[in-house]
Structure 1
Amino acid sequence: MKYHVAAAAFAALALARTDLMVPLYVYPGNMTWTNPEWSAAVEAIQDNPDLHFYIIINPNNGPRNTSDSTGYNGGFCQVYNNTDYIPHGCNRDWTTHISAISKLSNAQTIGYVYTSYGQRPVEETKADILEWSQWDKEPTWNAGETADISIHGLWFDEVSTSSDNGSNYMELIQYANDTFNAKGSERGRYSVILNSGPVSDTAYEAQLFNMSSAVVTKETCYTSDPASLGVSWDCPEPYSPFELKSLAKGDGLPQNPDLLPQTVIIVHQFRGPPTATLQTLREQIDGVVKLGVHSTYFTSGSYHNTTILPASIGNVSSILIEANDATQWTDGCATWWIWLPLLCAYLNGHLYWMLE
């Protein structure tokens, strides 16, 4: 039995990789035009088939036309008296362009749900969850054509760091699990990600990780001077700019290191000061991957910017794959020498059995 455990442990290490978590908060385009920020994301997914992309879809501060009457992200979802109204999928712009992502096996569409730090009414939040679960095959702009726009998980934003809200989140996630599980085999891959940031209460931190697939423990800007760049709106003061070397337990990382494989780190406004070159980006991503986290994302703009250099989604994807490969090779070799005697004994035992 111990040899089976050794082989399984080595295999698990070899397969562990850091994925890409993309908050694609951008209007995708229309029937004749595709937003370049959206196109860049699709191209990155296509160009990197060995990298898993979580693509967070957020039409209107959530999936419903009632979520935000101002038309968040540049466009309204369909209203009920519109002749182009469709039951689910926001509108035909979204169905047309989401389908380009849904076709790709290394992409997983995730629905955005805001929780207002535990203050949003539970029933209102559940309505968004239910709506996301009902996105399926909907009409595109092509006459008579429908496309698969099904959602395969949820991103809960603005998650409270207070344990006072723990029971509400348990209720919401249980409802989400039950709702998506009711789809049966059509559910496909399914993930729940909580964006809470660092949580000081170790018991509550463990609770959040236990009820979800992954938790965002660090989300901040890279630049140390957002005011000079005119991006203070994206980096509200007071805040601590991202520094890889300053990440620590309870400060950007979970207090329990065993939770690192479920940890998400997101960095936006990757611009100087300090230095923000392609090489710097490579060093930062390398360091994050070596931590063994679930997923990460770097962008040189805000969430919706996938084309600004150096941290374009194309560059970030390529660097992340290289970092994954390098880390697996280094860690794999180191671990190989630890498990080698057990693996050899395991293989020799099986060979002896086969020869007999």
Structure 2
Amino acid sequence: MHVALPLYMYPSAGTWQPLYDALNNNPRVTFDIIVNPSNGPGGSLPDSDYISNISMINSYNNVNTLGYVHTSYGNRSLSDISSDIDTYQSWSTYTNSNISLNGIFVDETPASLDYYDYVGTIYNKIKSTMSHGNLVWTNPGVPVDASFYNIADMINAYENTYDNWMHQGGNSSIPQAMRSKSTVMLHSYPSGTETMASDVDDLVDAGYHGGLLIVDDQYTSFDPMWSTFTSEVGQSNANVKC
């Protein structure tokens, strides 16, 4: 299982250090990291803090770096989304540092089949535009019709609180056949480590592509559970491989 990380905090001095520590301590775990400079790419290039830190992330072999775009659940124009994708692609032409991306994270993706063509247009745009890597990771935040997996490499099929996940039956809400291309993000995790190992084991054993267990519901800081979670993913992945 990969670690799914919405990296929505500004990279001021030392802020992303817990990420670098996790990358160094878990070299066999792949991290799918979403960067979001300004609710999207912002200007043509990110600022110097983002440039230096994205370049640092890209120096690791166990990372996929994805740029954030949003659809406002289908209310945002395709032309604006396309413009964001073009901007992210332009990062790959920056020669002073490696800030190229491996794909795009499409947030607030509509879950209704009425929007299938809309999402498909975004998928095709990413695939035809991104030259360094063109992973498409959509985020409806809920389970969706299986046909949506034809227009995404990964779908974040759950984004809600840990308590809600447990109340809904956890893994039973997402069909087994869909899990290898599904990620789940569980926030508001209880501030204790007693169940972390078993919870991670459950996600890994269920066969998800990626997952996240975190306390902060806004992804604006690295809480004390972060290092425990990432190390447990590494240990659980190793146990499965054995």
Q: Which category describes the TM-score, using the shorter chain as reference length?
A: over 0.9
Q: Which of 29, 39, 49 is equivalent to 2:27? A: 49
Alpha-carbon displacement from aligned partner over 1:298-317 (angstroms, at most 9, x marks no partner): 112131222x22x21x2111
Deviation at 1:262, TM superposition (A): 0.5
Q: Which of 1, 4, 7 is equivalent to 1:24? A: 7
Q: Which of 247, 259, 273 is equivalent to 2:170? A: 247
Instruction: Tell me how far apart the structure 1 counterparts of residues 83 and 22 of structure 2 sit (CA, whole Å).
Output: 32
Structure 1 residue 218 and structure 2 residue 194: aligned? no
Deviation at 1:259, TM superposition (A): 1.6
Structure 1 residue 176 and structure 2 residue 126: aligned? yes
Alpha-carbon displacement from aligned partner over 1:282-337 (angstroms, at most 9, x marks no partner): 1111111110110001112131222x22x21x2111100111122233xxxxxxxx
TM-score relative to the length of structure 2: 0.93
Instruction: Tell me how far apart the structure 1 counterparts of residues 110 and 38 of structure 2 sit (CA, whole Å).
Output: 21
Instruction: Tell me how far apart the structure 2 counterparts of residues 290 and 64 of structure 1 sit (CA, whole Å).
Output: 39
Deviation at 1:247, TM superposition (A): 2.2
Alignment: residue pair count? 241
Instruction: Tell me how far apart the structure 2 counterparts of residues 324 and 95 of structure 1 sit (CA, whole Å).
Output: 31
SS state at 2:11 partner: coil
Answer with 89-98 or 153-162: which moved more. Answer: 89-98
SS state at 1:49 partner: coil
Please name the residue that 2:189 is paired with: 270
SS state at 2:184 partner: strand
Please name the residue that 1:143 is paired with: none
Please name the residue that 1:14 is paired with: none
Q: Structure 1 segments of 4 or more deviating over 2 A?
A: 136-139, 197-200
Instruction: Tell me how far apart the structure 2 counterparts of residues 175 and 168 of structure 1 sit (CA, whole Å).
Output: 11
Deviation at 1:138, TM superposition (A): 4.1
Please name the residue that 2:230 is paired with: 317
SS state at 2:241 partner: helix
Q: Which amino acid aligns with 2:106?
A: F
Instruction: Tell me how far apart the structure 1 counterparts of residues 4 and 45 of structure 2 sit (CA, whole Å).
Output: 21
Structure 1: gaps (5+ residues): 1-17, 66-87, 140-145, 225-240, 330-356
Structure 1 residue 166 and structure 2 residue 116: aligned? yes
Structure 2: gaps (5+ residues): none
Deviation at 1:137, TM superposition (A): 5.6
Please name the residue that 1:208 is paired with: 148
Structure 1 residue 103 and structure 2 residue 103: aligned? no
Please name the residue that 2:208 is paired with: 293
Deviation at 1:245, TM superposition (A): 7.8
Please name the residue that 1:154 is paired with: 104
Q: Which amino acid aligns with 1:48?
A: N
**Is the Cα–Cα contact under 8 Å of residues 126 and 134 in structure 2 kept in the other structure?**
no
- The structure that has the greater radius of gyration is 1
Give the CA RMSD over aligned residues: 1.8
Q: Which of 232, 236, 261 is equivalent to 2:180? A: 261
Structure 1 residue 116 and structure 2 residue 75: aligned? no
Q: Which amino acid aligns with 1:110?
A: L
Structure 1 residue 282 and structure 2 residue 197: aligned? yes
Please name the residue that 1:63 is paired with: 41
Deviation at 1:244, TM superposition (A): 8.1
Q: Which amino acid aligns with 1:213?
A: D
TM-score relative to the length of structure 1: 0.64
Change over 3 Å in CA distance of 1:268–1:199 after alignment to 2: closer
Deviation at 1:96, TM superposition (A): 1.3
Instruction: Tell me how far apart the structure 2 counterparts of residues 211 and 161 of structure 1 sit (CA, whole Å).
Output: 13
Instruction: Tell me how far apart the structure 1 counterparts of residues 216 and 59 of structure 2 sit (CA, whole Å).
Output: 27
